[in-house]
Amino acid sequence: MAEVTWRNYLENKHSRPAPLKGIKVLEACTIILGPAGPSFLAKLGAEVVKCEFPPLGDTSRNLIPFGDYFREQGTGFVHANQNKYWMGLDLHKPEAQEIYRQLAAQADIVEENMRPGVLEKWNVGYRQLKEINPGLIYLAKNGFGQWGQYAEENRPSNDGASQAFAGFAWLSSQPGQRPLKSRLYICDNFGALLGEVAVMAALRHRRRTGKGQYIELSQTESIIRSMSWVWPYQQMTGKMAMPAGNRDLCVSPADTFRCRDDRFVAIGAALPDDFKGLCSAMGRPELAEDPKFKNHLDRLRDENTLELLDIISKWVRGKTPEEIERLAEKHGFAATRVQSIKDIVDDRHWRERGTMAYVDDPMLGPFYEFDFPVLMSKTPPKVRWSVRAIGFDNEYVLTHKLGKNKEQIRKLYERGAIGRWADMISRRPPEDWDGETGVIMSRGAANPPGKGK
């Protein structure tokens, strides 16, 4: 039956509406914590206008793995910024503040991750915007929130600081070794996602009551929320939660093991049938009946788990990850090789589901991009286009959304209220761009947003 529901999902994706059609989002966001949130909404169909300071724009345009650009753009910039319209707006200038206010007046949602008080100083903080748009939902994101000791100290933050500060990195290490930073910008991305959970609840409240509201999101508080058992454990035992490497302290057995070829495989086998399956795969069915291991709660005791993990690791050492995966399917437990990014990007499964979506971008060319990872049978999320240079859509937004004419737009450029990209790699369009493809409003006009300045 599930086949009926999901038949031809990918093929039909674009003959179905988007769930957030009609929702307008204005963003003044940088790095990942800020822009990733509106990007989720944009994949769900919201119209997002992103404002950057010309000519350098978003700092995450600097994220280039070992110096490698992606189609001449910041490699780490692409992901958090799909389906957006691109404004270059210098909010230091009163004329730019006025543009921002006009956009906010039309918006359903405003999102920003400036330091507390910065936008208010420029006359476009929440308390000013709600006067012109009382239904506005306003999400302010940062490291420490808007009030409290750290907010008052105006401490800067970012993902790595948050991993460090929450105790998350400290817990994510091998026993006795130094704390490890996740390869992932987890506090940025998870914080951004929780911010949208709150925004969606606020949107529903607004539909019911007409009322907007203010939301503050701290990335450190977000990651703290994810750390589940750690807090009651420390409260109840008075002991500090300790790192355990790849072993899951709450699931037994669950760990990562070294294989014959020095690659790694993760195994999880805690449910009664899974544990029996693993024991039979190891040719040790009697372990499943051993009083030390029979019940999960007994098995979880430190000495019992360690004994069991030792047995498993010796068994795995003689096998390859693929052999363990096959045995897992056959005997009924969970196992996977520790997959690299190559395993994911090249996986037919992800592509056929459209979670690794094919994007044919007018400026960057074709590539595979993560779509919003909740597939919706009647209102599928969609990645449509990728990043643009700073101010690329100035003309479109000002003409189409605000009804400005050519002369007014020219003056805004002249005053420096709006602007475009710096003539440097990662800021300008790719070298092979024809100066037209992707431009919405002013193609061939007197002042086209062509290459460079």
Partner 1 sequence: MAQQSAAEWFRERDDPAIAHTKPEALDDITVLDLSYNSYAGAFCTSLLAEFGAEVIKIEPPGGDFMRTCTPYGIQHQGVGLNYLTEGRNKFHVTLDLQKEEARKILEKMVAQADVLVETFTPGVMDGWGIGYEQLKEINPRLIFASITPFGQFGPKSKSKMSDYDNIIQARSGMHYATGEILPEGKTLDEMPWAIPTKSGPWIGATPAGAFMATGIMAALYWRDASGEGQALDCATSEAYASFDDWAYQWYQETGRVAERFGNLDIAGWLYCFAPTKDGAVFLGALRLEQWQAFVDMLGKWDEWGAAEWKEMAPFMAEDQQIKWADLCFAETRKYTNRELVDMSVEYSKKGRLAPIAPVVAPIGNPMDTLEDPNWNDRGLFTPVDDPVYGPVVLAQAQYKLTETPPRTKWVCRPVGYDNGFVYLKYLSYGPEKLKKLKEAGVI
Q: Considering only residues 238-297, where is the footprint of partner 1 by CB under 8 A?
A: 240-241, 245-246, 248-251, 254-256, 258, 262, 264-268, 270-271, 274, 296-297
Interface residue with partner 1 among 33, 217, 363, 398 (CB under 8 A) is 217
Q: 234: helix, coil or strand?
A: helix
Interface residue with partner 1 among 11, 14, 15, 237 (CB under 8 A) is 237
Burial of 178 (0-12, 13-18, 19+ CB in 10 A): exposed
- Closest to partner 1 by CB, 234 or 437: 234
Interface residue with partner 1 among 25, 26, 51, 80 (CB under 8 A) is 80
Interface residue with partner 1 among 14, 177, 432, 444 (CB under 8 A) is 177
**Least distance in angstroms from the C-beta of 64 to partner 1:** 5
Stretch that binds partner 1, among 83-91, 154-162, 412-420, 443-451 (CB under 8 A): 154-162
- Closest to partner 1 by CB, 102 or 172: 172
Q: Which two tokens stand for residue 408?
A: 């007014």
Is residue 171 a contact residue for partner 1 (CB under 8 A)? yes
Query: Contact at 8 Å (CB) between 145 and 216?
Result: yes
**Least distance in angstroms from the C-beta of 98 to partner 1:** 20
- Closest to partner 1 by CB, 115 or 443: 115
Q: 314: helix, coil or strand?
A: helix
**Least distance in angstroms from the C-beta of 156 to partner 1:** 5
Q: What is the DSSP letter of 166?
A: T
Q: 308: helix, coil or strand?
A: helix
* Near partner 1 in 374-433, by CB under 8 A: 374-379, 424-426
- Alpha-carbon torsion angle 386, 390, 392, 394, nearest 10: 130
Is residue 108 a contact residue for partner 1 (CB under 8 A)? no
Interface residue with partner 1 among 83, 113, 157, 394 (CB under 8 A) is 157
**Least distance in angstroms from the C-beta of 5 to partner 1:** 5
Q: Which residues have C-beta within 8 Å of that of residue 247, sequence separation ≥ 6?
A: 254, 255, 305, 309
CA distances (Å), origin 278, targets 63, 159, 244, 287, 301: 43, 38, 22, 10, 19
Helix/strand/coil (H/E/C) assignment for every residue in 1-66: CHHHHHCCHHHHHHHCCCCCCCCEEEEECCCCHHHHHHHHHHHCCCEEEEEECCCCCCHHHHCCHH
Is residue 123 a contact residue for partner 1 (CB under 8 A)? no
- Alpha-carbon torsion angle 132, 138, 142, 148, nearest 10: 80
Is residue 190 a contact residue for partner 1 (CB under 8 A)? yes
**Least distance in angstroms from the C-beta of 345 to partner 1:** 5
Interface residue with partner 1 among 13, 98, 101, 116 (CB under 8 A) is 116
